[in-house]
Structure 1
Amino acid sequence: MASTSSVEATKQLWDDTLARLLNLSTATVTRNTELQARLNEAELELSVWKQAHSAALDSAERDRKAHMLHVATLNSQIASLQEIGTQSPLMLCIIDGDGNIFSPNLLTQGVQGGRQAAQELTRGIAGYIQDHDLPVGTSVVFSVVVFFNRKGLLDTLVSHGICTTEQFEAFFLGFGQASPRFWTVDVGIGREPADTKIKDYLQTYGRFPQTLRIIFGGGHDNAYMPTLTAMENEQLLGKVVILQGCDDLASEIRSLDLPILRIDGLFMEHKLSSASKKPGPIPLGGLWSITTNGGLLSPRSPPVCSPSELDGRFIDPSRVKSPPPCNEHYLMSCSKGGSCKYSHDYILTPDQLGALARNAKKAPCNYLKNGLTCPHGDRCCWGHKCPNGPSCFHLSKGKCWFKGDAMHSPVD
């Protein structure tokens, strides 16, 4: 009996030991599985942090390079500003040669007259610098550019008996030879090319820090008012001095109260009388084209008869008229007087005035086009709204002349 009990006790002991070993093995396997999972998670997290660290290093390197480039750019700009500070100041003279016409006494002298005009202009501006104690230092760069319609001005002067073609050409040759920085620019037919170039020169050179003054020979024409107003908004108008030619300044430009420089004997003191001009015939109905007036795109006017045809007979519609009638003169008022490139001498019938008015509305008002309030209001002869309204084909292409805000609202 005792032997049987001992065997059973031993068997039970081994069973218990095996059970404990099995439990321990199961617990060990479970624990190892948990630890392996945690290890895998830790390795994954470490990989993510390594990637983030690498990305942060790359970003920091890019930022460092961008910062160094920015610093280099700033250093270059500072060097440029320091160089500008050591440069001679610029005195730029811009002349509208169609409105400010040189003196007949100078024109008739040909080459010598051109050189004398350049000398008197230089002497007058030098006197202005001295009288107003401008900070020019030891030297100043002085440049002159005259914009004009060579053929139109020549025809006008010859038709008025001011000078001959040879004297005209010789005068501007002498003027340009006076200095490498004296330029004459033929802008071709029409006012728009001259206005555009002069306005661009005013604003571009007005922004240059080395530009001390702009001597502007264009105070006769209100068409420059939007540009001068824009310069005033940029606080650049203090650089502008009006070089007065004829007796009268345009009313709106006079209201700016800008300094005025007058050089006696340089320009004609009075506007040319339009009475002595000989405007030719113009086409009658249906022959419309686009011309310019005071810097604005405007339709060529309808048929008229000239003062020389006061017998009431109308001219042949197949013949071409030059210059066309002035839209502003016939539809409201023209501030250019005798210097206007368009005729004030034709006699228009009511029907012709109506056609002139309708076609003027097809060209945009220069004030609204430049984001300004039109001082003429309902009296303005130019278009305040695009005739094609919101569905304008040219607007969709970005080529419509009516560029001002609300100029494509529905037409009343």
Structure 2
Amino acid sequence: MDGANDLTQYVRQLELFRHQDHARDQMIGEILTRYEHLQRAYQEKCDDYSNEVESRRMWQTKAGTYDREMQALSKSLKTTESNPFVFVIIDGDGAVFQDMLLKAGADGGSQAGYLLHNEIMNYVSEAYPQAASQDWSVMVQIVLNLDGLAKKLHACGIISNTAAERTLSDFGRGFGRAQPLFSFIDVGSGKESADHKIRETLRLMVRINQCKHIFFGPCHDNGYLPVLEPYKLDPKVYPRLTLIETTPAEEGFKHLNFHRISFKSVFRSEKLPDRVERPSVSSVSSVSAVASPPTAGMQPLPPPMHVPTSNGNGGALLRSNTNESQPQRVASPQSSSGGAQTPTSWSVVTKVSTGKTIDISSKKPAPKKYYLLNVESQRVDEQFPRIDPNVEKRFKERMTKSGKNLCNNFHLHGFCKNGDACPFLHGEKLSQGELTLLKQKSRGIPCNDMSGCDNADCMLGHHCRWLKNCEHSSCRFQGYHDIDTKPRVKVYEDGTTQMLAA
């Protein structure tokens, strides 16, 4: 019995141990689970910490970058605000200064610069009342074809334009000296030259922050409309751009709705006349007729102070009176029948015995050389008559036979400095038709000065012969196909001009 009790006790003890083992296993499992949760949470915290560290470092880097950018921007803004200026660009071929200013030469240029500066500053001070506009600089550029405008003004009788007196050049120098940032820029002939310079300068200035306001003077030329079209919708440019109106603006500029302003104290409000009224040919002819020597049908003048006497050879001796510059009429000897005396001509002395005459009239002066200008004061080439095909044939045969081209200097100007060493053909004198053909061929060589040439002896070309009908892609007259070839002014070699019929 004692043995059975002991076994039961052991069984109960074993069962107790099993329960304890199970409780221990549960506790250990729970501990492990909680440890796993804690470990995962710890890892998350570590990851969060690492992220925060990286994020902090990133923001610190960005903060440093932004700080440097802000400093640079601040410095840039200070620089921008430190040199503000107003820019004025004007097409001087169309915006012409007042006559009284131009006539005054250098002094007029200085006065024009002073007046224009005052007009600009008055406008700016009203347009920007909150800004210190009195400290803004004013930069002015007048872009023009100096020689072409000078010729036009001279033809209109406004200024002198001779070798000794270049009034417009003096005016430009005076204008440039009036203010340190004022410029009178000569771009030479060719409308494209001025247009390109003005267009590119304007494009540059609208992008510069220091340029607070822009004044532009194009209102006489519709060619500038495409330049201004993009700016009318640009909120950064539109308020800063003002058009200077000299002559009444073309309709296209009015539709752009830019603000327009006129400086009537500085610029002409009327266009230059296309032609200048001069004495008519009939009036000049009548005056010339009064001064001309009388013809045989006119009443004879009183007899001269000395009459001729016969010399040993039967000729007439002519004695001059006190005025040697004017030839005297010589009385003819009376006939044996006692007929009335018949006066001789003003320029002929008649021999008594033989009737032989000696011509003492002054030599007919050679016609003055000249060149032609159109209404824009651009040189145009005079049209040649149609060339006879036979002349062309002889011309080609001459060159083919010699194997050389004809020398332009020798045949057209009468002299070649190279003499016998010249590589071109001199030879015998050309006929009038051949000379005309050679002149026409020389027109195919562009003149260095193109439409601005003022040399009356120049035989080279000043624009394309075919103009807009030219089919040569590599034409040597690029940029000179839209020239108005209708001559309006004839300029003689001595500087005098003659307006031609419109």
- Change in Cα spacing, 1:9 to 1:133, as seen in structure 2 (3 Å) is closer
1:100 is aligned to 95
Q: Within the alignment, does 1:251 sit opposite 2:247 as a pair?
A: no
- Aligned mates of 2:168, 2:135 — CA distance in 1: 30
Q: Within the alignment, does 1:262 sit opposite 2:263 as a pair?
A: yes
- Aligned mates of 1:326, 1:318 — CA distance in 2: 11
Of residues 203, 207, 217, the one that matches 2:206 is 203
* 2:109–2:175 Cα contact (<8 Å) kept: yes
Q: Within the alignment, does 1:52 sit opposite 2:48 as a pair?
A: yes
- Change in Cα spacing, 1:195 to 1:125, as seen in structure 2 (3 Å) is closer
1:221 is aligned to 221
Q: CA deviation at 1:219?
A: 1.7
Q: CA deviation at 1:164?
A: 5.6
* 2:89–2:198 Cα contact (<8 Å) kept: no
2:141 is aligned to 146
Choose between structure 1 and 2: higher helix proportion. Answer: 1
* 2:98–2:265 Cα contact (<8 Å) kept: no
Q: CA deviation at 1:342?
A: 4.8
Q: CA deviation at 1:143?
A: 0.8
* 1:114–1:174 Cα contact (<8 Å) kept: yes
* 1:279–1:343 Cα contact (<8 Å) kept: no
- Change in Cα spacing, 1:10 to 1:52, as seen in structure 2 (3 Å) is same
- Change in Cα spacing, 1:75 to 1:154, as seen in structure 2 (3 Å) is closer
Aligned residues: 298
- Aligned mates of 2:12, 2:102 — CA distance in 1: 133
Q: Within the alignment, does 1:344 sit opposite 2:347 as a pair?
A: no
Code of the residue aligned with 2:46 in structure 1: it is K
* 1:220–1:248 Cα contact (<8 Å) kept: yes
Q: CA deviation at 1:167?
A: 5.0
- Aligned mates of 2:5, 2:186 — CA distance in 1: 128
* 2:141–2:185 Cα contact (<8 Å) kept: yes
* Aligned ranges 1:3-402 → 2 under 5 Å: 5-22=1-18, 24-29=20-25, 31-56=27-52, 58-59=54-55, 62-63=58-59, 91-102=86-97, 106=101, 110-125=105-120, 135=129, 139-146=134-141, 148=143, 153-157=145-149, 160=152, 162=154, 163=161, 167-184=167-184, 190-191=193-194, 193-200=196-203, 203-204=206-207, 211=212, 214-226=214-226, 228-235=228-235, 237-245=238-246, 247-255=247-255, 256=257, 258-264=259-265, 266=267, 269-271=270-272, 273=274, 274-275=374-375, 277=377, 279=379, 306=381, 308-309=382-383, 311=385, 316=441, 318-320=444-446, 322=462, 342-345=482-485
- Aligned mates of 1:72, 1:100 — CA distance in 2: 48
1:299 is aligned to none
- Change in Cα spacing, 1:13 to 1:229, as seen in structure 2 (3 Å) is same
Q: CA deviation at 1:240?
A: 4.1
Q: CA deviation at 1:327?
A: 9.3
Deviation per residue, 1:319-349 (Å, 9 max, x gap) = 3365569999x9xxxxxxxxx99512279xx
Code of the residue aligned with 2:45 in structure 1: it is W
Query: Larger radius of gyration, structure 1 or 2?
Result: 2
Code of the residue aligned with 1:182 in structure 2: it is F
- Aligned mates of 2:267, 2:481 — CA distance in 1: 21
Q: CA deviation at 1:39?
A: 0.9
Deviation per residue, 1:107-154 (Å, 9 max, x gap) = 565543432321232244456579x797376835351321526xxx13
Q: CA deviation at 1:253?
A: 0.7
* 2:214–2:241 Cα contact (<8 Å) kept: yes
- Change in Cα spacing, 1:182 to 1:158, as seen in structure 2 (3 Å) is closer
Deviation per residue, 1:271-298 (Å, 9 max, x gap) = 5853474546xxxxxxxxxxxxxxxxxx
Deviation per residue, 1:155-193 (Å, 9 max, x gap) = 423554743686555443332222223245567872453
* 1:94–1:217 Cα contact (<8 Å) kept: yes
Q: CA deviation at 1:36?
A: 1.7
- Change in Cα spacing, 1:262 to 1:311, as seen in structure 2 (3 Å) is farther
Percent identity for Structure 1 against Structure 2: 18
* 2:467–2:481 Cα contact (<8 Å) kept: no
1:369 is aligned to none
Q: CA deviation at 1:203?
A: 2.9
Q: For structure 1, which runs of at least 5 residues remain unmatched after alignment?
A: 281-305, 331-339, 348-412
- Aligned mates of 2:44, 2:23 — CA distance in 1: 32
Deviation per residue, 1:210-238 (Å, 9 max, x gap) = 83x54322222334434544443345545
- Aligned mates of 1:325, 1:249 — CA distance in 2: 33
* 1:128–1:261 Cα contact (<8 Å) kept: no
- Aligned mates of 1:53, 1:187 — CA distance in 2: 71
* CA RMSD, Structure 1 to Structure 2 (Å): 4.9
Code of the residue aligned with 2:225 in structure 1: it is M
SS where residue 38 of structure 2 aligns? helix
